[in-house]
Amino acid sequence: MKTKLIYIIALFLVFPLFSDAQSKCSDFFRYRRPEAPYEYNDQSSSAVCVTGQTYEFILPLTKGKDFRLKFYAAAVFNNKINFKIIDESTHETVLDLPGESADRAEGTCVLADYYNEDNGKSSHPYFDFYPATSTTLKIIIEVLPVPQEQSDNPNVKKQAKMNRGCVTVVVLDKPSDNSSF
């Protein structure tokens, strides 16, 4: 009986250690929702990312719709993520911003909320894309490495510290004002 009890306690001790791994990106589904007049687009996606890696999302956009993109990242990354978007049809970089900027002003960063003067509320950054013809966007997400601790002892081999968490790309759309469909 005592042994059984120990096993049960052990189970409770072990499982919370991996609760983050278990939840993965499910917590981020709350961000994947429509925001009138924009509808939710099923190309929205989440990925479990690791610091020091660069990830790409290849997103085709169809003419006739206006698209809104929003990004969210796990707190473990501390907004230390760079975002770049390349229009594949022109090969031009159409967005190149950090996750967070010093002044947190509108249009200066991708992840940190800013004060919206229009409604007097805190708003999450968004970016609107208008495809003049159908095209594809390459979204490049660079999750910056964690600064490494320095050791004075040259015999101590430094081990890279890594963080792991979810990054979510939310895609919304609405019929284009110019669309004749």
Partner 1 sequence: MKTSFKLITFIFATSMLFLFTACGEDANNNKNEKDSLNQDVTEINEDNLITYLVPSPKDMFAFTKKGDLKYSANVLNAKDNADKYIDTKSQEIGFGIYSADLAYTAAFNQTNTAGEYLKVVESLSDKIGLGSVFTESLINRFKKIENKDSLLKVTNDTYYDIVKFLENNDRNTSLSLISVGGWVESLYIVTNLQNKYQKDNEIIQLIADQKNIFENIVLSLQQREADPNVADLIQELQAVKTVYDGLEVIKIENPNVKNAKANQIIVGGSTKIVMTETQFNQLKKAIADVRNKLAGSDV
Is residue 43 part of the contact set for partner 1 (CB under 8 A)? Answer: yes
Is residue 132 part of the contact set for partner 1 (CB under 8 A)? Answer: yes
Give the residue with the Cβ less far from partner 1, 117 or 152: 117
Q: What letter does residue 150 receive in the DSSP assignment?
A: P
- Rounded to a whole number of angstroms, the distance between the first and last alpha carbons of the chain is 71
127 backbone φψ class: left, alpha, beta (φ>0; ψ -120 to 50): beta
Is residue 150 part of the contact set for partner 1 (CB under 8 A)? Answer: no
116 Cβ contact partners less than 8 Å away, ≥ 6 residues apart: 106, 122, 123
Please name the amino acid found at residue 118. D
Select the residue interacting with partner 1 from 31, 45, 84, 100 (CB under 8 A). Answer: 45
Give the residue with the Cβ less far from partner 1, 14 or 75: 14
Question: Minimal distance in Å, beta carbon 17 to partner 1?
Answer: 7
Select the residue interacting with partner 1 from 84, 104, 124, 164 (CB under 8 A). Answer: 164
Select the residue interacting with partner 1 from 70, 77, 129, 165 (CB under 8 A). Answer: 129
Cross-strand bridge partners of residue 98: 82
Question: Minimal distance in Å, beta carbon 152 to partner 1?
Answer: 19
149 Cβ contact partners less than 8 Å away, ≥ 6 residues apart: 158, 161
Is residue 41 part of the contact set for partner 1 (CB under 8 A)? Answer: yes
Site for partner 1 in 75-114 (CB under 8 A): 87, 89-90, 94-95, 106-107
> CA quadruple 34, 39, 42, 45: dihedral positive or negative?
negative
Site for partner 1 in 51-80 (CB under 8 A): 52-65
